[in-house]
Structure 1
Amino acid sequence: MDIHRSRFVPFPPSAINALAFSHSEPTLGNKDPEGLRLAVGRANGNIEIWNPADGAWQQERVFYGGKDRSVEGLVWTQEPDSKDGKGKVTQGRLRLFSIGYSNSVTEWDLATGLPIRHSDGNNSEVWCFAAQPKFSKYAKGPEAEDDTPQKLVAGCADGTLVLLSTADNDLRFEKFVARSMVKKARVLSVTFKDRRTVIAGFADSTIRVYDTRNGFVIRSISLGNRGPGGPRETLVWKVRTLPNGGFVSGDSNGDICVYDGKNYSQTQRISAHEADVLDLAVSRDGTKIFSGGMDCRTSYYTCNPRGKWREVSHQRYHEHDVKAMAAYDGAGLSVTVSGGIDTQPIVLPIRNYGKELSRGLPALPHSPPLISAPDARLMVSWWNCEIRIWRVKAQDDSVEKPKVVARLALQGDENISSVSTTRDGGLLAVATAREVKLFQLLETSTELGSILRIKKLELPSTLGAKLVRFTPDGKWLAIIDMVNDVYMIRIIRTEDERPRALHTPLRLHRIDRGEGASDPLSSPTGLYNRSIAHAEFSPDGSVFAVADLAGYIDTWVREGHEDVTAPEVDVNETDAAPADDEDESEDEEGPQKRITFLGQRWIRNPSAHLLPRLGSAPALLSFEPTSGSASRPEPRGNPAVHPTRGNPHPHSHEIPDTEHRLLLVSADQRLYLFEVLAGRLSEWSRRNPPSSYPSQYRILKSPTKGCIWDVNNQQRLWLYGEGWVFMFDLNRDLPIPETIETQDSTIGEEPDSKASRKRKREGARKGVSGAGDAVPEEDAPVTKMRRFDSAEDDESKSPAEIGLHDTEMGESDHEADDEQGALISLRRSKDGVDETDGASDDVAEDTDGAIEPQRRSPEPWWNTFQYRPILGMVPVGKDDQPLEVVLVERPSWELDLPPRFVGAHE
């Protein structure tokens, strides 16, 4: 495989301005909520929804913003729980709100990713806002009388505090808590102390406590100034409440101030930062605090039993200002997430701070903003509202470097959500949340060289889309709109006329799974977990597949042959659709109809219901190309299919007979290779379960972003993530891991045997809080004490060990490996495959010299971690040529970031 290792493709960074967890504490029974999510708001207006998933940290959704729509704050609320007639408790629906340089608060539809309503009111720009604590049935006193849904309080630029109501599935102005003051000091931070008390930090060196029932100022706390030579005012950037009723603030002096919750007096001040403290995070028990500031530091504080706070450590996890922090401290997940201008979220452990490492989540998009037209050697990249098209010359042409041949700036303010092109580079489809646009790319020669001219084509009137996909020949365009409806549009492409799209879209129906109604992330407009995450056509364009967040797969096949003499659009509204054509029926209200385009139509795959549900959300979906076999020639038209009086709408019922293999990679890095038409797992997947994966692959932290197939001379699959590339040879089985091979020999060994100790060491490397791995033993803090008897000076006696943090290492992974060992051997012997097949003398081929393999091994896999953060990897060149790809890197030191307020070495 030849690799163009490049960094010429620009991708502007987008700072993280806001972070928010959907839940603040675990549910009853001390369990983490099923709907636990992390929302990340960026400066380009996008909102990312991350699923912690027991430490997997998958980016599930992206709500695309637009020009000048920076997200400056995020808040979750949850509706009260309800009971059905059988007494079963259903979790209340989650709602997400945001602010950003406007005088309104925006609510987002979690199912569609679109804003559904904005708050109204005569107030100025909203600088901060917070959600009221959830109502507790155990509340006493005045709080017991207030059982309304969670309200929002918003702090404005003129010093106004506004109370917003979320009752009746609405968002409306309720009243002013505080009116504008004479100084008009901005409200920089606000939080609820309890359901009726609000604490706000202002830009005039003041913290004020309000009663939301009457707007009365309970207490006004002055922070003063820094004296001569310092700023006149102290900016209170953040206030957070503590479980004991107190609260803590971070200001522009770099100080952390702790206050008593009864008399509102300052009990302690800690100077821990060299510049402004921008955000704070507090653990659930109130004994730990994290702070982030403009000096790039993240500081950690603990409280002793006497109530005195002290700084334990500080470290620069970020390369720039730390602007936002969010914490969730539950039974399993116990982390603090921080983000800032350097665009990367950092996960820190709370409960096991010092015993587990930090972890950086991918800063680049999970779905690569990079595609290619291999036959034309074109590569398309995009960001926000701009598209650039590059031409990549062959590697033997060292004179001309890759260059931009076309630029496209979309009209409107919406960010691009998806782009697709044909293999020959003749058509380009671009989707935003507002509309889908179709363009024709024409190559022309000028004195300066070859350039592309772009012409816009007409499309049927459709709303915005989250995904668009072309068949390789460009005759079909699939559109997945924002409400997860799938539409197929036929495009007429001939050599004599300009391409045109037929104005009758065909809607494809998915199988009704009957699940997700109780999901707290769902909304009245749809189900969150049924949101389509991936879609792809087969290489010959005869099969189309989609996968949703719940792990379900839906597939359709193209029926019939193309007949240029048939009507372009043939709609049959009179005959009832047969039972196997359920996908062709329209809405239940209207008549059933079947639509045929030039003798072809799309039907649901007869074996679609046989495909199993994945154990976790999919991270990648791709069809395996056919290895060197020519496609079956199609007849000219549909033989013996002509309209008659008894059959006025004839069409061929022939479907593809060549098997198509579909690859899915789940969030937990499991590989599923399905035979779509047969509706089953392929033999390779059956013989190679997850327990046979190499350890280098099983320990990967970042999810799979994409894949490249090399099926010309071999059967190789190249997977890549943000910092790794992995190859699997699908013609050979993976070797059985050592833990499985030695399972018989380990039976009956002593608990302290060599194999047992090895398993414990491997288990000790895994973190349990959802952040990074456990700190190595040589770097770990002191966790054991040795007790000596001073009266006896006997060196022969071994000292007793007292464990300070004793935790039993679980061996469930190893036990599962052992249980599957016999199953692997049985499947391979049944298929006649030698278990030592993976020990041949073949070695993975080298790249073009960009990197050297870490080792040459006889194993049917290969990996490297020597690449910088990978934006994407796409193929260029025709199928009959050796595989050639372009790998685009975006190192962190090449990001165009503003200058730091405090230097890296100051």
Structure 2
Amino acid sequence: MDIHRSRFVPFPPSAINALAFSHTEATTGNKDPEGLRLALGRANGNIEIWNPGNGAWQQERVFYGGKDRSVEGLVWTQEQDTKDQKGSISPGRLRLFSIGYSNSVTEWDLATGLPARHSDGNSSEVWCFAAQPKFSKYARNLEAEEDASQKLVAGCADGTLLLLSTADDDLRFEKFVARSTVKKARVLSVTFKDRRTVIAGFADSTIRVYDTRNGFVIRTISLGNTGAGGPRETLVWKVKTLPNGGFVSGDSTGNICIYDGKNYSQTQRISAHEADVLDLAVSRDGTKLFSGGMDCRTSYYTCNQRGKWREVSHQRYHEHDVKAMAVYDGPGLSAIVSGGIDTQPIVVPIRNFGKELHRGLPALPHSPPLVSAPDARLMVSWWNCEVRVWRVKAQDDGVEKPKVVARLALQGEENISSVSITRDGTLLAVSTAREVKLFQLLDTSAETDSGIRIRKLELPLTLGARIVRFTPDGKWLATIDVANEVLMTRIIRAEDERPRALQKISRLQRLDRGGDSSGALSSASGQYSRSISHADFSSDGTVFAVADLAGYVDTWVTEGHEDITAPEVDAYASDAASADEDDESEDGHSFKERITFRGQRWIRNPSAHLFPRLRCAPALLSFEPVTESASRPEPRGNPAVHPTRRNPHAHSHEVADTEHRLLVVSADQQLYLFEVLAGRMSEWSRRNPPSSYPTQYRILKSPAKGCIWDIQHQQRLWLYGEGWLFMFDLSKDLPIPDTVEAHDAIHGEDVESKASKKRKREGPRKGVSGAGDAVPVKDAPVTKLRRFDSAEDDESRVPAQIDLHDTQTADFDEEFDDEQGALVSLRRSKEVVDATITGDRVQESAAEQRKRSPEPWWHTFQYRPILGLVPIGKQGQSLEVVLVERPSWELDLPPRFVGAHE
């Protein structure tokens, strides 16, 4: 494989301005809620939804913003839990709100990813806001309230505090809590002390405590001046409440101030930062505190039994200002996430701080903003509202660098959500949340030096889309709209006329899978877990597949063959009721309309119901290309199919019989290779379970972003992630672990084979808090002390051990399923199974097999953060790809305010 290792593709970084967890603590039992999510807001207006389940940290959804729509704050609320007639409790619905350089608060629809509503308050710009604590009927000294919903309090630039109501599934202005008449008294931070008390930090060196019922100022706390030579005012950037009723503040002097919750007096002040403290985070029990500031530091503090705080450590996880922090401290996940101008989220453990490493999440988008037209040697990149087309020269043509041959700036303010291009590079589709646009690319390089001329084509009137996909020949355009409906548009292409899209659109229906367990994230617009995250066409354009966050895969196939003599559109109402023709949607409406385009129409795959549900959300979906020898030539049109007086809408029911294999990679790095038409797992997937994957692959942290197929001369799959590249040879089986082979041979009678069933993993040990791996033993901090008696004559006393950390250590051994290993051995060749008579012969046969053939996999970690990997070059030639990197040191970041101490 020839690789063009390039860094010429620009991708402007977008700072992290806001972070928020959907839950602050576990709601039931010793288990984290299933709907736990992390919302991340960036400066370009995008909001990312991350799922931290089982430490996977997968980026599930992206709500695309627009021009001048920076996200400056995020807040989650949750409705009251409901109980059905059987007594089972359903979690309340989660709601997400944001602010950003405007005078309104925006609520987002989690199912569609679009703004649901805006507040209509007459105020200045909203600088900060916070959510009221959840109503609990078991709380002490709490009077009955008619409104049990969580209200929002917003602080504005003119010093005004607004109270917004979220009752009745709405967002409306309720009243003013305070109106300040002091100049420069803008509200920089605000939080709820309890359901009726608000604490706000101002830009005039004060912290004010308000009663939300009557707007009464309970207490005004002054921080004083900064002293000679400094600014006159102290900016209170953040205030946070503690579980014991007190609160803590961080200001522009770099100080952390702790206050008593009863008399509102300052009890302690810690100088921990060399510049402004921008955000604070508190653990669930209130004994741990984290702070981040402009000096790039993340400081850690603990509280002793007497209530005194001290700084334990500080570390620079970020290369620039730390602007936002979010914490969740539960029975499973116990971590704090921080972000800033350097665009990368950092996960730091809380419960096992010092015993586990921190972890950096991918800063680049999970869906690569790169596509290519291999036959035309074109590559398309995009960001925000701009699209660029690059031409990549072949290596035989010299060392000429790739150059931009076309630029496209979309009209409007919405960011681009998806782009697709045909294999020959003549058609380009671009989608936003508002609309889908179709363009024709005319190559004029032979006539002029302009390169490529862009011509806009008309599309049927459709709303925006989250995903657009072309068939390789450009005859079909699939769009996934914001409501997760699959729309198929037929494009007529001829040599003597301009390409045009037919006005009639075919709607493909998915299988009804019923309800799901994560109802807290659903809304009136649909189920969040049924949101389509991936879609792809087969290489011949006859099969289409989509996958959603719940782990379901839906497939469709084309029925009939293209017939240029048939009507372009033949739509009619069908009286026959069948599984394919009389589908019902979730709202109960039946679809009986048949639409045939030039003798072809899309139907549901007859084996679609046989696809199993994945254990977790998919991270990648791709079809294995079909070779020319395996594909069957299509007949010209549909022979023996002619409309008659009794059957005016005759069409062919023939379906392509060439088997297509579909690869799905889940968030836990498991490979699923399906045979689409048969509706089953392929033989390679059945013979190679996750226990046979290489250790270097199983310990990967970042999920797969994309893949490249190399099937011309060999059957190879190239997977890549944020910083890794793996190759799997699908024509060979992966080596079986020695523990499984020994178990098959000895049947559990040998002591050494029993001990080898659990083999310790080479490399770092797995963590338990959802952050990084456990600290190596040689670098582990001191966790035990020995106490000796001062008496000299008592030398026989055994020193006592004092545990400094009471956390439980995790079991770092690999777990192999012996029954699965035995089944895999039976599926492999009989030669290996028959040779397993003793443990020595098993090892010898495995060693001899490795000598005869090289390893069926290969990997490298030498590439910097990978933005994308796309193929370049025509079919039949050797595989040639373009690998685009975006190293952190090449990011165009603003200058630091503090950096002299480096």
Q: Same fold (TM over 0.5)?
A: yes
Could you report, residue by residue, the CA deviation over 1:702-748 in whole angstroms, capped at 9, with x for unpaired residues? 01000000001100000000000001000000001234344477957
1:616 counterpart residue number: 616
- After TM superposition, the structure 1 = structure 2 runs for residues 122-521 of structure 1, keeping only pairs within 5 Å, are 122-145=122-145, 147-445=147-445, 449=449, 451-516=451-516, 519-521=519-521
1:182 aligned partner, one-letter code: V
Q: In the aligned structure 1, how far is the partner of 2:436 from the partner of 2:641?
A: 35
Q: CA deviation at 1:445?
A: 2.7
**Cα distance in structure 1, aligned partners of 2:160 and 2:197:** 16
Matched, 1:862 2:858: yes
1:480 deviation in Å?
0.4
Secondary structure of 1:885's match? strand
Q: Is the 8 A contact 2:583 2:590 kept in 1?
A: no
**Aligned-residue CA RMSD (Å):** 2.5
- Which secondary structure does the structure 2 equivalent of 1:493 belong to? strand
Indicate if the aligned counterparts of 2:758 and 2:813 stay in contact, CA closer than 8 A.
Answer: no
1:782 CA drift (Å): 1.2
Task: Decide whether aligned partners of structure 1 residues 769 and 649 sit closer, same or farther in structure 2, where only a CA change above 3 A counts.
Answer: same
1:851 corresponds to: none
CA distance in 2, matches of 1:904, 1:48: 34
For residues 612-651 of structure 1, the C-alpha deviation after alignment (integer angstroms, 9 at most, x for no partner) is: 0000000000000124526322222111100001110011
Describe the SS at the equivalent of 1:449. coil
**Structure 2 letter corresponding to 1:899:** P
Normalised by the size of structure 2, how large is the TM-score? Answer: 0.95
Distance 1:694 1:126 in 2: 51
On the 8 A contact 2:81/2:90 being kept in 1, the answer is: yes
CA deviation map 1:176-211 (0-9, x unaligned)? 000132324110000000000000000000000000
For 1:128-154, what per-residue CA distance to the aligned partner results, in whole angstroms no more than 9, with x for missing partners?
A: 000000001112334443652000000
CA apart distance, 1:829: 3.8
Deviation at 1:788, TM superposition (A): 5.8
Corresponding position: 1:887 with 2:875: no
Counterpart-to-counterpart distance in 1, 2:432 and 2:75? 25
Which residue is 1:681 aligned to? 681
Residue correspondence of structure 1 range 552-701 to structure 2 within 5 A: 552-583=552-583, 589=589, 592-629=592-629, 631-701=631-701
Q: What is the aligned partner in structure 1 of residue 868 from structure 2? A: 872
> Contact 1:585/1:594 (CA < 8 Å) preserved in 2?
no
Determine the C-alpha separation between the residues in 1 that align with 2:6 and 2:873.
17
Contact 2:584–2:590 (CA under 8 A) maintained in structure 1: no
Query: Could you give the per-residue CA deviations for residues 848-901 of structure 1, whole angstroms, max 9, x where no partner exists?
Result: xxxxxxxxx921111111000000000000111000000000000000000001
Answer whether contact 1:839 1:859 (CA < 8 A) is retained. Answer: no
Seen in structure 2, the aligned counterparts of structure 1 residues 808 and 272 have a Cα distance that, compared at 3 Å, is closer
Change (3 A) 1:645 1:794: farther
1:897 aligns with 2:893: yes
Structure 2 CA distance for partners of 1:523 and 1:397, relative to 1, 3 Å? same
Amino acid at match of 2:653: H
Tell me which amino acid in the other structure corresponds to 1:328. Y
Q: Distance in 1 between matches of 2:32 and 2:357?
A: 22
- Seen in structure 2, the aligned counterparts of structure 1 residues 802 and 213 have a Cα distance that, compared at 3 Å, is closer
Partner of 1:536: 536
**Amino acid in structure 1 at the alignment position of 2:737:** P
Question: Which amino acid letter does the alignment assign opposite residue 860 of structure 1?
Answer: P
- Show CA shifts across 1:232-284 (max 9, x none): 00000000000000000000000000000000000000000000000000000
On the 8 A contact 1:585/1:592 being kept in 2, the answer is no
Question: Residue 740 of structure 1 aligns to a residue in which SS?
Answer: helix
Q: TM-score, normalised by structure 1?
A: 0.95
The CA distance in 2 between the partners of 1:603 and 1:816, in whole Å, is: 41
- Secondary structure of the equivalent of 1:145? coil
Structure 2 contact 768–810 (Cα < 8 Å) conserved: no
- Give the deviation of 1:27 after TM superposition: 1.0
Matches of 2:14 and 2:659, distance apart in 1: 43
The 1:590/1:52 distance shift into structure 2, 3 A limit, reads closer
String of CA shifts for 1:439-492, please: whole Å, max 9, x gaps: 000000367636010000000000000000000000000010000000000000
Q: Indicate whether 1:736 and 2:736 are aligned.
A: yes
SS of match in other structure, 2:779: coil
- Unpaired runs of at least 5, structure 1: 844-856
Q: 1:139 to 1:497 in 2, by over 3 A?
A: same
Supply the distance in 1 between the matched residues of 2:708 and 2:8 (Cα, whole angstroms): 21
Decide whether aligned partners of structure 1 residues 624 and 30 sit closer, same or farther in structure 2, where only a CA change above 3 A counts.
Answer: same
1:96 Cα offset (Å): 0.1
- Give, in whole Å, the separation in 2 of the partners of 1:758 and 1:514: 41
Identity of aligned residues (%): 80
Cα distance, 1:507–1:237 mapped onto 2, change above 3 Å: same
Q: Secondary structure at the match of 1:520?
A: helix
Q: 1:441 aligns to what SS in structure 2? A: strand
* Shift in CA distance, 472/584, structure 1 to aligned 2, threshold 3 Å: farther
In 2, Cα distance between the equivalents of 1:780 and 1:715? 44
1:792 CA drift (Å):
9.0
Contact kept, 8 Å, 1:255 with 1:271, in 2: the verdict is yes
Equivalent residue runs for 1:645-794 within 5 Å: 645-743=645-743, 755=756, 759=760, 765-786=765-786
Structure 1 residues 175, 329: closer, same or farther in 2, change over 3 A?
same
Q: 1:586 to 1:640 in 2, by over 3 A?
A: farther
Distance of 1:816 and 1:763 partners within structure 2: 18
Deviation of residue 790 (structure 1)?
A: 7.4
Q: SS of the counterpart of 1:343?
A: coil
1:806/1:252 CA distance change after superposition, 3 Å = closer
Shift of 1:828: 1.2
Partners of 2:102 and 2:126 within 8 A in 1: yes
Whether the aligned pair in 1 keeps the contact of 2:385 and 2:415 (CA below 8 Å) is yes
Supply the distance in 1 between the matched residues of 2:790 and 2:615 (Cα, whole angstroms): 57
**Deviation sequence 1:334-356 (CA, Å, 0-9, x none):** 00000000000000000100000
2:814 alignment partner, SS class: helix
Q: What amino acid maps onto 2:437 in structure 1?
A: K
1:734·1:838 contact (CA, 8 Å) conserved in 2? no
Structure 1 residue 810 displacement after superposition? 5.4
Q: Is the 8 A contact 1:256 1:269 kept in 2?
A: yes
SS in 2 for 1:54: helix
Deviations 1:509-550 (A, max 9, x none): 000000237610000010000000000000000000000000
Count of residue pairs brought into register by the alignment: 892
Given that 2:348 and 2:357 are in contact with CA atoms closer than 8 Å, whether structure 1 keeps it comes out as: yes
For 2:648 and 2:80, locate their aligned partners in 1 and report how far apart those are by CA, in whole Å: 57
Deviations 1:774-798 (A, max 9, x none): 0111111112344667779999999
Q: How many Å apart are 1:834 and its aligned residue? A: 9.9
Counterpart Cα distance in 1 of 2:543 and 2:808: 49
One-letter amino acid of the counterpart of residue 255, structure 1: N
Residues 750 and 330 of structure 1: CA distance in aligned 2, closer, same or farther (over 3 Å) = farther
More off after superposition, 12-21 vs 583-592? 583-592
